[in-house]
Structure 1
């Protein structure tokens, strides 16, 4: 059995606000890991600072085979796997690549008159999401499959 084809992307829960530390620790052990982030400007009383904010709160994606799944628990900050229908939740490689491309590019959803509660298809991810907030052209939606929040602009 070829180990390359048997590897999958699994979703791992982390302790709150420990996503980027867990990514560093897992990478140091040789595990392929991905945690989508975006840059935000945060205001403090004396300064503004750009920081990296994880898009999947308390979650990271790890690329492992079924036999290697327990290796993540050797790292501090890992809590458990996300389960779907009694099995470890898997994310396809295409979805991970699409997420990376989506974060590298700004997309607009060509719809007008969007309302909270509407279901939209997020470009490139090809995932359905439910609108949570609409303020002018800026929209925030939650992906149905993994529950991640995405933001986009309607045209």
Structure 2
């Protein structure tokens, strides 16, 4: 049976302190979830697969309201995330869905911005790198349609939305 007083709360951590804060909260007996993704890191002498947080400076704590202070007094924790002047909570199903997504080993991309049709974008990777264009439409996460400025036509580019950023 799930205790109705306990919910998942997004916790904002200090920069690069997600794993440390997660360990500290677990040591205090607080259930947490830190979504991690595998990334290949290149050094001058070797490559290594490391786990990095999926969402920078975020982890999730499964607590009741009476444990807020205990979480905030944990090394690495900066604050809770607020929405409409209340501490935000995440439905259990969304945490479950996030765990399932990460278990599929698919290549997830998290962007901290939203680009809407009509906005100018800078293409930051691929053969069109460095070109500024207008976003016409996003057909799915892989295919975007861009209008090149001053050329009067649209071009379909089969690339990830992650390869463009607001300009």
Give the structure 2 partner of residue 100 of structure 1.
Answer: 99
Secondary structure, in 3 states, of the residue corresponding to 2:15? coil
Q: Shift in Å at residue 104 of structure 1?
A: 0.8
Change over 3 Å in CA distance of 1:76–1:103 after alignment to 2: same
1:21-32 to 2 correspondences below 5 Å: 21-32=20-31
Name which one, 1 or 2, has greater alpha-carbon Rg: 2
Greater share of strand: 1
Change over 3 Å in CA distance of 1:107–1:18 after alignment to 2: closer
Q: Shift in Å at residue 56 of structure 1?
A: 1.1
Give the structure 1 partner of residue 119 of structure 2.
Answer: none
Change over 3 Å in CA distance of 1:120–1:7 after alignment to 2: farther
Where in structure 1 do 4 or more consecutive aligned residues deviate above 2 Å? Answer: 116-122, 135-141
Give the structure 2 partner of residue 40 of structure 1.
Answer: 39
1:12-91 to 2 correspondences below 5 Å: 12-91=11-90
Change over 3 Å in CA distance of 1:34–1:120 after alignment to 2: farther
Change over 3 Å in CA distance of 1:31–1:119 after alignment to 2: farther
What is the CA RMSD across the aligned residues, in angstroms? 2.8
- After the TM superposition, which of the residue ranges 25-34 and 65-74 deviates more from structure 2? 65-74
Change over 3 Å in CA distance of 1:120–1:91 after alignment to 2: farther
TM-score by length of 1: 0.69
Cα distance in structure 2, aligned partners of 1:92 and 1:63 = 11
Does structure 2 retain, via aligned residues, the 8 Å contact 1:3–1:65? no
Q: Shift in Å at residue 138 of structure 1?
A: 4.0
Cα distance in structure 2, aligned partners of 1:68 and 1:120 = 43
TM-score by length of 2: 0.64
Cα distance in structure 1, aligned partners of 2:7 and 2:162 = 28
Cα distance in structure 2, aligned partners of 1:120 and 1:62 = 35
